[in-house]
Amino acid sequence: MTDSSLNLIRVLLLIGALFLVVLGVVVGGVGLLVGVLGPADRLMPMVIISLSFLTLSGGLGAAMAWQLWQALQGRGSRPFQPKGIGALVLILIAALVVGQLILAFDLLPGWTFPPLYLVAALVPPWIILSLIGRRLAPPTRWRDVVFQLSSGALLSTSLAFVVELAALLTVSFLMFSAVTIRPGGAKLLQALAQALQQSAWLEDPDRLISLVRMPVVVATASFLVVGVVPVVEEALKTIGTGLWIHRRPGMSEAFMWGVCNGAGFAMAEGLFNSVNALPLWTPVAVLRIGAALMHCFTGGITALAWHSGVVRRRWGRAAGLYLASVGLHGLWNAVAVAMTLFSLSMGGAGDVVP
């Protein structure tokens, strides 16, 4: 690739990065305004979602724009050797403790809690990324870290959401079709649809728990979460590594790229997947630390699969590494599903339909 072609690509990417900045500021700003002017009980979720979008789109877009501008000026990038990891650990612990106190004592949570929520979602993946980056030799450049982190947080999560949504709709259609052809299945679905339209039924925890514990629902959710999700996410999470693998990086550098992809993916998940779990925020935030570690590790393994296949032409080894990352991801999800089912089994259960 000639220098002029490379610079043209950089200019196009710079325009895209600046668009992400504008998009993050506009959408995040409008969301904050809607949250402030809307119902009081929706203030905190709206502020959290708006700040999360602003951080991912605006923050990562600005970081990419800066790196691309530096590259266009012919300036190199420093080695990725982050400092202050100990201070970040203390900040994370303080955010978890103070955040739980704010929620427990209702200390203006709509205004005081969202920044702590962001800290708890963003800091663990960054700590993991920093610890690994400081120990790899030769070190990865900051520029590559920014691009791969952004790819995992923005590109991979968007593609995974679309594919997983399509899988959910397909499996749900097949599930309802299977229930319909069973004796009495059509009447059961009709009664369930009528029940879901009743606010009193929806507000009954026992009935909702009984719905979730239905064998067909458990089997479908387990198939999606333990089977489909790991296959999809491990295939798409390291797409940034795949786009840059033509540079033929070494094994350690490829592994680091995958860790960056996983860290970005974990950041996006941590920001948006925990909004509906605010009453149990502290245990969920702690579990997200484990999820971040899983995403970083499996991302590194899948990146090694890219390296084995494309760089070393060992496609059998590449397939084995990919399957290993899928297996580890599936095992983590299986534990999460088992814990959820166990917690539901400790509660009461009513009839599925009134």
The tens digit of pLDDT for each residue in 56-88 reads 999 999 999 999 999 999 999 999 999 999 999
Tokens of 29: 């700003």
Region 270-291 average pLDDT: 89
Contact 294, 328 (CB under 8 A): yes
220: pLDDT confidence band, cut at 50, 70 and 90?
confident
Which residues lie closer than 8 Å to 80 by C-beta, 6 or more apart?
133, 139, 140, 141, 142, 144, 145, 256
* Residue predicted with more confidence, 346 or 19: 19
**28-67, pLDDT tens digit by residue?**
999 999 999 999 889 999 999 999 999 999 999 999 999 9
Distance, CA of 191 to CA of 177 (rounded, Å): 16
Tell me what the mean pLDDT of segment 264-278 comes to. 92
* Cα 315-328-239 angle, rounded to 5 deg: 55
pLDDT at 354 over 90: no
Residue 241, judged by CB atoms within 10 A of its CB (0-12, 13-18, 19+), counts as buried
pLDDT of residue 352: 34
Q: CA 104 to CA 107: how far, in whole Å?
A: 8
Q: Residue 171: pLDDT band by 50, 70, 90 thresholds? A: confident
Neighbouring residues of 193: CB distance < 8 A, sequence distance ≥ 6: none
Higher pLDDT, 200 or 51: 51
Percent of the chain with pLDDT strictly greater than 90: 69
Residues of the chain with pLDDT > 70, as a percent, come to: 86
Q: 322 or 205: which carries more pLDDT confidence? A: 322
Residue 351 has pLDDT above 50, yes or no: no
Mean pLDDT computed over 277-289: 88
Q: Which two tokens stand for residue 58?
A: 């605006």
The pLDDT score that the predictor gives to residue 70 is: 95
- Per-residue pLDDT, averaged over 182-195, amounts to 64
Q: Which of 17, 19, 20 is nearest to 65 (CA)?
A: 17
Task: Please state the rounded mean pLDDT for residues 270-292.
Answer: 90
pLDDT digits (tens, 9 = 90+) for 114-123: 999 999 999 9
Instruction: Say whether pLDDT at 194 is over 70.
Output: no
pLDDT of residue 348: 41
pTM: 0.90
Q: How far apart are CA 293 and CA 266, in angstroms?
A: 8
Q: Give the torsion sign (CA, 196, 199, 203, 206).
A: negative
Per-residue confidence (pLDDT) for residue 197, from 0 to 100: 60
Cα separation of 166 and 229, whole Å? 12
Burial of 67 (0-12, 13-18, 19+ CB in 10 A): buried
The pLDDT of residue 187 is: 67
Residue 79 — φ and ψ, nearest 5°? -65, 145
Q: Does 209 have pLDDT greater than 80?
A: no
- Over residues 222-268, the pLDDT tens digits come to 888 999 999 999 999 999 999 999 999 999 999 999 999 999 999 99
User: Which whole number is the average pLDDT over 142-146?
Assistant: 96
Name the more confident of 332 and 196: 332
**pLDDT of residue 345 exceeding 90:** no
Question: Does a cis peptide bond (omega within 30 degrees of 0) precede residue 139?
Answer: no
Q: Give the residue carrying structure tokens 């540079």.
A: 247
